[in-house]
Structure 1
């Protein structure tokens, strides 16, 4: 195996398939040195692709960068290139990640490695996780459409993930559907009722197919599962001079209406509600239902079987470093790839941990689940939240930027 700039560039292109918040793709990779035996890669952050209001602690940024790193490691391993070290410095806009890649004689000798962090890497044991490749990176997708519950496949995939995580500072915790929907409803209203967060989100929504950025980044109408008619209406409204009006409608109208009970359903079904077709599905669903359905009475239809909901949890103390969160991002990607390998996809709901009130309630739930367990520490900080199920419709492909 001989390393060449062209080979390393092809690996960086594969790494660009990694997931990121709002599909911002904030990574800026460069090859700083390349010989026939060793290549040095640096990846920094594009400040124009940050979410300072929606992700003020840079947690989602670090997770996304970790997903990028693991995507590169997986692609390199398939090409017979060893990732000898991953070094993380800085945080947020100053995050600086260095990777050392070396040529190997055979693919069988390639292992995924990482520098020491509090997470105590769950990536060093190649036999614990399934062996992933470039095809897995390409097949993985976030599905924002309806997901179908699949208990056997879910049980098998989660057992693999939990076994690998058992000796690390990361845990997968399942959340009951009623609690999940209640948290999701209030978290969505919090996020889109905040003027700064909502304005920031609008910047990454893509509805007009003539938009030069439509095929590059952000959340397209197709990916958000917005019908064609709604997308055309949203594209008409998605004009810079209208953004302040739309933001005002969201921040002034949504939160108070959320307290109005049945009035919220009337709002969602009214003409005014149709102006919000540009919002992601999680918020539109929160506008159509203000409470979990009642338990079925005798003779009624059986309660619908909802997909599974999971929280990736870590200890709240001591504080995680940026390197820890990058490492968790690597674990998160492998978790999603494991589900995908079992025919399951995820729908990510970061808003559950972005709302301070909901995040505290989730932490209380996690502490309650920890009681009676033998873990020496409480896994009481939600760092990622997502729904898992099998896709019921074809999943649109998210747009991607070229890394060069």
Structure 2
């Protein structure tokens, strides 16, 4: 195996399929050195593709960059290139990731030996996971529509992930459906009721199929499962000069809902709230949800979050 700039560029292209919040694709990779045996890759951040209002602590950014790193590691392994080391410095807009890639003699020896940043090595040791390839990266999808889960396959994937994470600080935590739905409602109120966050989100929505950016980045109507008629109406309204009006209307309409929820929550937590009569509701059966968590690490570094992003991608692919 001989490394060439063309080969490394092809790996960077495959890594660009990684997921990121709002599909902003914030990574800016460059080959800083390339010989027949060793290549050095640096990946930084495009400040124009950040979400300062929706992701003020850069947590989503770090996770997305971790997904990019792991996508590169997977594509490189399939091409017979070893990821020898990954170093992470800075955070947010100053995040700086360096990867050292080396040529290998055979496909049997391409598993990454990249040392972990701060999260245990078992999580990014490729031998502990199923062997993924470029086809898996291409098959990974985002669908905001309703999904029907295959329970046997879900149980199998969950067991694989939990076995890998057993000796680490990372966990798959189960969240009951009722709690999950409550969190989603709170998130929606914040996303649509906060002017700055909503305006930022509008920038990354792609409703017009004639928009050159429709197939490049952002969230398309197809991804969001918006019907064709609704997408055409949204495309007609998706004008920069209308954004301030749209966000203002959304914020104003949701403000009473947020205030009502806050008042109910405050009243329910008081002694008087215990006297509220609650009508019985028929329980519907919903699957519970799994989230990736690090419960014993209250404070995570940017390097930790990048590493968890690498785990997130492998969990997604599993």
TM-score, scaled relative to structure 1? 0.71
Contact between 1:226 and 1:278, CA under 8 Å: does it hold in 2? no
**Offset at 1:319?**
1.6
Contact between 2:195 and 2:251, CA under 8 Å: does it hold in 1? yes
- Determine the structure 1 residue equivalent to 2:33: 33
Contact between 2:42 and 2:97, CA under 8 Å: does it hold in 1? yes
- 109-118 vs 206-215, which deviates more? 109-118
Q: Distance in 2 between matches of 1:104 and 1:36?
A: 11
**Offset at 1:152?**
1.3
Gaps of at least 5 residues in structure 1 are 283-302, 339-404
Residue 37 to residue 220, structure 1, CA distance change in 2 (3 Å): same
Contact between 2:112 and 2:126, CA under 8 Å: does it hold in 1? yes
Contact between 2:63 and 2:309, CA under 8 Å: does it hold in 1? yes
Contact between 1:29 and 1:43, CA under 8 Å: does it hold in 2? yes
Contact between 2:15 and 2:75, CA under 8 Å: does it hold in 1? yes
Contact between 2:116 and 2:307, CA under 8 Å: does it hold in 1? no
- Determine the structure 1 residue equivalent to 2:120: 120
**Offset at 1:126?**
3.4
Q: Distance in 1 between matches of 2:48 and 2:216?
A: 14
**Offset at 1:51?**
0.2
**Offset at 1:98?**
0.5
Residue 220 to residue 84, structure 1, CA distance change in 2 (3 Å): same
Residue 316 to residue 270, structure 1, CA distance change in 2 (3 Å): closer
**Offset at 1:228?**
0.6
Q: Note the alpha carbon deviations across 1:52-78, whole angstroms, 9 max, x for none.
A: 000000000000000000000000000
Q: Distance in 1 between matches of 2:114 and 2:44?
A: 17
Contact between 1:225 and 1:281, CA under 8 Å: does it hold in 2? no
Residue 336 to residue 317, structure 1, CA distance change in 2 (3 Å): closer
Residue 319 to residue 93, structure 1, CA distance change in 2 (3 Å): same
Residue 228 to residue 37, structure 1, CA distance change in 2 (3 Å): same
Contact between 1:148 and 1:306, CA under 8 Å: does it hold in 2? no
**Offset at 1:261?**
8.9
- Over the aligned positions, Cα root-mean-square deviation in angstroms equals 7.1
Q: Report the structure, 1 or 2, having the larger helix content.
A: 2
Residue 195 to residue 264, structure 1, CA distance change in 2 (3 Å): farther
Residue 269 to residue 126, structure 1, CA distance change in 2 (3 Å): closer
